[in-house]
Amino acid sequence: MTFEHLEEKEAVEIASLIERNGFAFYSILAEKAEDKTVKAAFKKLAQDEKKHMKVLEKKYYPEAGFGQVITDEEIAIEDYISRVADPKIFTEEIDVEKLIHLINNTKKAVMLAIHTEKYAAEYFEGMAKKASTKEGAAMYRELAGEEREHVKVLEGVLKSI
């Protein structure tokens, strides 16, 4: 079923940015981590983000009407998102490499990641409550659940360092 409302399309675009930036963030942290447990956790999170990107591309992109050719509507949605979305949840194209340089130790990186994942979960839960369709609400709840799982993994990493 094709999403008929901007909010569902917006969620797909925001989710895609979150997952893409999260993948880059966790991949770089995995490369830089010296502790094997921390490295493994970051690698798993990067793999999860990559898997989520594939799910979004296969399942939600067609439903949201996103295709290979960028349409005027997609450009309008991207513009809308850039004006209203909170950048604290990786919803903008960011220079992840530059961000990593600002974080001078693993503990800070994990704490930032926990904050980001919690905020993303809260954001998607809030959007689920506001969704005008059952499909949109279900999609937001699913995304929130994925983010909460990442929080648990990261809290475990934080305890180990």
Look at residue 1 and tell me if it is in a domain: no
Look at residue 41 and tell me if it is in a domain: yes
Which of 110, 114, 119, 113 shows the shortest CA–CA distance to 144? 119
Look at residue 95 and tell me if it is in a domain: yes
- The domain tally of the chain equals 1
Query: 145: pLDDT confidence band, cut at 50, 70 and 90?
Result: very high
Q: Kindly provide the residue ranges of all beta strands, DSSP E only, lying in 17-93, ordered along the sequence.
A: none
Supply the CATH number for residue 23's domain. 1.20.1260.10
Q: What is the pLDDT of residues 96-129, one digit of tens each?
A: 666 666 677 888 888 888 988 898 898 889 888 8
Task: Quote the tokens at residue 5.
Answer: 């409302």
Q: State if pTM tops 0.85.
A: no
How many angstroms separate the CA atoms of 114 and 130, rounded? 25
Look at residue 33 and tell me if it is in a domain: yes
Helix axis angle for 6-32 and 106-130, nearest 10°, is: 170
Q: What is the pLDDT of residues 3-20, one digit of tens each?
A: 555 566 776 777 778 888
Residue 69 lies in domain: 6-160
